[in-house]
Amino acid sequence: MIPYGKQNITEEDIKAVTEALKGDFLTQGPTILAFEKAFSDYIGCKYSVAVSNGTAALHLSALALGVNENSKVLTTPLTFAASANCIRYCGGQIVFSDIDEDTYLIDIPQLQKVIESHPKGTFSGIIPVDFAGRAVNLEALKDLADQHNLWILEDACHAPGGYFIDSKGIKQNCGNGKYADLAIFSFHPVKHIATGEGGMITTNDEKLYQKLLTLRTHGITRDKELFENTVDFANGTEKNQGDYPGWYMEMKELGYNYRFTDFQAALGISQLKRANQGIERRTAIAVKYYESFIGEDFIKNQSGVVEGHAYHLYVIKVKDRLGLYNYLREQNIFAQIHYIPCHLMPYYKQLGWKTGDLPVAEAYYKDCISLPMYPTLTEEEQDFVIRMIKEYYV
Judged by CB under 6 A, the number of residues near ligand PLP is 14
Q: Minimal CA–CA distance to 337: which of 382, 367, 310?
A: 367
Q: Considering the complex, what minimum distance in angstroms separates the CB of residue 190 from ligand PLP?
A: 7
Per DSSP (E only), the strands in 81-194 are 93-96, 125-127, 151-155, 163-165, 171-173, 182-186
Residue 39 in contact with ligand PLP, rule: CB under 6 A: no
Among 75, 79, 221, 283, contact with ligand PLP (rule: CB under 6 A): 79
Q: SS3 for 45?
A: coil
In this structure, what are the phi and psi dihedrals at residue 145, rounded to the nearest 5 degrees?
-60, -40
Strand ranges across the sheet with 368-371 = 299-302, 314-318, 368-371
Q: Closest CB to ligand PLP belongs to which residue?
A: 54
Non-local CB neighbours of 135 within 8 Å, separated by 6+ positions: 159, 162, 163, 164, 172, 174, 308, 309, 310
Minimum CB separation from ligand PLP for residue 243, in Å? 42
Q: Does 186 bind ligand PLP (CB under 6 A)?
A: yes
Dist. CA 135–CA 158, nearest whole Å: 9
User: Is position 22 annotated as part of the catalytic site?
Assistant: no
- Phi first, then psi, for residue 225 (nearest 5°) are -60, -25
Smallest distance, ligand PLP to C-beta of residue 86, A: 9
| Smaller CB separation from ligand PLP, 181 or 293 | 181
Query: Exactly one of 88, 134, 142, 188 binds ligand PLP (CB under 6 A); which one?
Result: 188
Instruction: Check residue 7 for interaction with ligand PLP (CB under 6 A).
Output: no
Residue 59 or 148 with smaller CB distance to ligand PLP:
59
Selection from 65, 66, 49 nearest residue 57 by Cα: 49
Residue from the set 55, 214, 270, 302 that interacts with ligand PLP by CB under 6 A:
55
Please, what is the minimum distance in Å from the beta carbon of residue 235 to ligand PLP?
A: 47
Q: Which residues contact 77 (CB under 8 A, 6 or more apart)?
A: 96, 97, 98, 99, 341, 342, 343, 344, 358, 361
Q: Are 193 and 54 in contact (CB under 8 A)?
A: no
Query: For ligand PLP, which is the closer residue by CB, 53 or 302?
Result: 53
**260 near ligand PLP (CB under 6 A):** no
By CB under 6 A, residue 374 contacts ligand PLP: no
**Binding status of residue 53 toward ligand PLP by CB under 6 A:** yes
Q: Which of residues 296-325 bind ligand PLP (CB under 6 A)?
A: none
Catalytic residue, candidates 191, 224, 239, 319 = 191
Choice from 71, 83, 85, 221 touching ligand PLP (CB under 6 A): 83
Cis check: omega of the bond before 339, within 30 degrees of 0: yes
In the beta sheet, which residues pair with residue 152? Answer: 126
Q: What single DSSP character describes residue 265?
A: H
Phi, psi (rounded to 5 degrees) for 389: -65, -45
Between CA 221 and CA 210 the distance in angstroms is 10
> Measured from the CB of residue 329, what is the shortest distance to ligand PLP in angstroms?
22
* Smallest distance, ligand PLP to C-beta of residue 375, A: 17
User: Within positions 199 to 238, which residues make up the interface with ligand PLP, using CB under 6 A?
Assistant: 199
Please choose, from the candidates 341, 334, 337, the residue with its C-alpha nearest in 3D space to the C-alpha of residue 321.
337
Interface residue with ligand PLP among 82, 138, 183, 344 (CB under 6 A) is: 82
Specify the residue, 60 or 299, whose C-beta has the smaller distance to ligand PLP: 60
Q: Quick count: other Cβ atoms within 10 Å of Cβ 340?
A: 14
Residues 125-164, interacting with ligand PLP (CB under 6 A): 129, 155, 157-158
Whose Cβ is closer to ligand PLP: residue 82's or residue 316's?
82
Q: Note the residues at the interface with ligand PLP (CB under 6 A).
A: 53-55, 79-80, 82-83, 129, 155, 157-158, 186, 188, 199
Q: Which residues are catalytic, by number?
A: 191
